[in-house]
Amino acid sequence: MADQERTEDLAQLLARLKSEHDTSYEEIARRIGVSRSAVSSWVNRTRGGKRGPARDHLEALAREYKLDRNYVFEAAGRTSPGPYDADAEARILELYRGLTATQKVEKEVEMRALNELNRTGQ
Residue pLDDT, tens place only, 14-23: 999 999 999 9
- pTM for this predicted structure: 0.70
Distance CA 100, CA 11 (A): 47
C-alpha 14/C-alpha 34 separation (Å) is 14
The closest of 59, 13, 53 to 25, measured between CA atoms, is 13
Question: DSSP 3-state helix, strand, coil percentages of the chain (rounded to 5)?
Answer: 65, 0, 35
What is the rounded average pLDDT for all residues in the chain?
Answer: 87
Picking from 42, 46, 49, the residue whose alpha carbon sits closest to that of residue 57 is 42
Mean pLDDT computed over 98-102? 96
Instruction: Read off the pLDDT of each residue in 90-99 and give the average, rounded to a whole number.
Output: 95
Q: Write out the H or E segment, with its range, that includes residue 5.
A: helix 3-6
More confident residue, 105 or 51: 105
Per-residue pLDDT tens over the stretch 46-94: 855 556 788 889 999 999 999 999 999 999 988 877 888 899 999 999 9
pLDDT confidence band for 101 (50 / 70 / 90): very high
CATH 3.20.10.10 fits 3-75, yes or no: no
